[in-house]
Amino acid sequence: MTTDFDLILIAQSEVVDYRGYSHLPLDRIEVYRELVYPRMVYHGGAFRSHIDLLNIVGNGVSFVDATAEQRRSLLSVWNLPSLGGLHLANYLHAQGFRVCVINNFDAESDRFREVYANCQAPPLVGISTTFHLGWAEIRRLSGQLRNLDPGMAIVVGGAFANALTHTQELSAFEAPMRKYRIDYLIHGFHAEPDLANLLRARRGEFDLAATANLVYFDTDDHFQATAQQWNPPLLDDQPACFDRICAPFINRTVQARTSSGCAFSCAFCSYPRVARGYHPMSLDAVDRSLASIKRIPGVRSVVFVDDTFNIPRERFRGICDLLARHQLDWYSFLRVQFINEDDAKRMRDSGCQAVYLGIESANDQVLENMNKKATRAEFTRGVNLLRKQGIVSMAAFVLGFPGETEKSIDDDLQFIEQTGVEFYTLKPFYYMAHTGVHEQREQYQLTGMGNQWSHSTMDAVTVQRHLMRLFREIKGSCYLDADTSLWHIALMCDAGFSLAEIERLQRETNEIVRRQLDGQFDDADPGFARLKAILDHRDVHHD
């Protein structure tokens, strides 16, 4: 049967090239150790993600080596339904467009080919760059798409495209777009209406040159850039059509948001500036969205990606009441310094399973430098309230921010061990020019950029050494990869694992990694057998 779509949207893909890492010589690991550890584990002659190790041990096949059909039933955080994909399809559906979401291209490439082939008129194909850090993933995806159809019309948009506009002129897009054969690129923030206008222009219902925040090649192959325009976030006017989207990749969990932007201005973060403040949805709009999500067959859980989910307090309490009424389990980011005992009880009673705590540092001077508007004592109090209610915490730390010393990093270690947070992540400070700390660079003698930096109290090389030290020394809490973090927990729960099983599996994996850091590379390591025993004998939690 032929089904026409206006847009096939590739929402996400496997952005880490594990095959590339595995080509690095193991006997030279001292040269690249920080690139792979502690976030990867070596098994079967290759570096794997911690999650993919469970695929190998439990199913005998890695995600990397599996077919697309097999990958759909394997564990990967990219198999969790993308917020961006569902959000955009929801908006465009209400605008009268037919959208097919390919949630994870690497697990649905066969579905993409089938859908594309069955369209009578070639649709526009979109690549979302929400999780892209460079052009490499766009190059990989566009290459595969062009192999399928050299004449395919491709549009790129999302966070990576928007971020580039803060550091370069629009004309700089021309060279990579030509190189990777991209027809259109939408670079605006909150660009839903811009994409809708591009789709209208392809129908002949709108002037392409009047589409804001667009760079493209005209019929004479000339590079063109349209006017830049700020779009307000889609919030109270957001349609609630989630249950009408064709999304066969959904299991029991979806992602959602109830606000855009951030009410804070942490000195290491660019998001509040890019988003131009904090923009909340009304509770009525949140209610409509949750009702639509609840109508999706099988959905039981929601991961909220709001940066400031529990601010302001009265609104947060209202959201908890809605979640209790809709009977949805949930996960979120949480400003734990602002919760009280009543908040924690409401969270428990409304179905909260686990939360991501952006602690960043447990040293008050570093917190002040970060402009976190919080203290170690406030963080400790909040974590204790969550533990009292049985809510699992995953505490995230940024190591190496200006003012960081060995003593302040030791404060992080002590906080993690003493408060009893169940999970923690560690990430080196990443220096960006469009952040508050850049304006204070002279004060801190901060030089470099990105992950190569130095300041008056630490440098990027030293911070990696401390990261490894904390990973080795922390025993009471369980390390998770900073790039998967809360999504690791949500994915495993979605697959039927209990929180206790998730912790057991991750602790065993971490012990294998620690032995590999000591040079013990052996597929006969008893830790692999213990992982298999946990997987073979676990209790699967069905609804």
Q: What does DSSP say about strands 301-304 and 253-256: parallel, antiparallel, or unpaired?
A: parallel
In 149-245, which residue ranges form alpha helices assigned H by DSSP? 159-164, 174-179, 192-203
> In one letter, which amino acid is 108?
E
Q: Are 119 and 153 in contact (CB under 8 A)?
A: no
Q: Is 111 left (phi over 0), alpha (psi -120 to 50) or beta?
A: alpha
Q: Are 492 and 331 in contact (CB under 8 A)?
A: no
Distances (CA, A) of 187 to 85, 278, 530: 17, 21, 48
CA distance 131 to 431: 18
**What's the mean pLDDT in 340-352?**
98
Residue 264's pLDDT band, with cuts at 50, 70 and 90, is confident
Q: What does DSSP say about strands 153-157 and 184-186: parallel, antiparallel, or unpaired?
A: parallel
CA distance 215 to 226: 6
CA distance 97 to 90: 10
Question: What are the pLDDT digits (tens) for 377-389?
Answer: 999 999 999 999 9
CA distance 259 to 280: 4
Q: Mean pLDDT in the chain?
A: 95
Question: What are the pLDDT digits (tens) for 28-62?
Answer: 999 999 999 999 999 999 999 999 999 999 999 99
- What pLDDT does 246 receive? 87
**What's the mean pLDDT in 176-197?**
97
Share above pLDDT 90 across residues of the chain, in percent, rounded to a whole number: 92
Q: Are 261 and 233 in contact (CB under 8 A)?
A: yes
Strand partners, 184: 155, 216
Strand partners, 448: 453
CA distance 290 to 112: 28
CA distance 258 to 215: 30
- What pLDDT does 543 receive? 44
Q: Are 112 and 101 in contact (CB under 8 A)?
A: no
2 has a pLDDT exceeding 70: no
- What pLDDT does 133 receive? 86
Residue 542's pLDDT band, with cuts at 50, 70 and 90, is very low
Q: Are 224 and 198 in contact (CB under 8 A)?
A: no
**What's the mean pLDDT in 207-220?**
96
- Omega prior to 38 cis, within 30 of 0: yes
pTM above 0.85, yes or no: yes
- Omega prior to 297 cis, within 30 of 0: no
The candidate with the shortest Cα–Cα distance to 145, out of 137, 136, 154, is: 154
> In one letter, which amino acid is 167?
T
11 has a pLDDT exceeding 70: yes
529 φ, ψ (degrees, to nearest 5): -65, -35
Q: Which residues of 190-222 are buried (b: 16+ CB within 10 A; e: fewer)?
A: bbbbbbbbbbbbbeeeeebeebbbbbbbeeeee
Q: Are 359 and 379 in contact (CB under 8 A)?
A: yes
CA distance 154 to 173: 14
Kind and range of the H or E element at 379? helix 376-388
In 229-356, which residue ranges form alpha helices assigned H by DSSP? 271-275, 283-294, 313-326, 341-349
CA distance 283 to 302: 16
Collapse the DSSP code of 89 into the 3-class scheme (helix H, G, I; strand E, B; otherwise coil) and give the result: helix
- What pLDDT does 30 receive? 92
Kind and range of the H or E element at 43? strand 40-43
Question: What are the pLDDT digits (tens) for 166-185?
Answer: 889 999 999 999 999 999 99
Return the percent helix, strand and coil in the chain, to nearest 5: 45, 15, 35
Q: Which residues of 82-116 are buried (b: 16+ CB within 10 A; e: fewer)?
A: bbbbbbbbbbbbebebbbbbbbbbbbbbebbeebb
277 has a pLDDT exceeding 90: no
In 118-257, which residue ranges form alpha helices assigned H by DSSP? 136-148, 159-164, 174-179, 192-203
In the block, which residue shows the tokens 């302001």?
Answer: 312
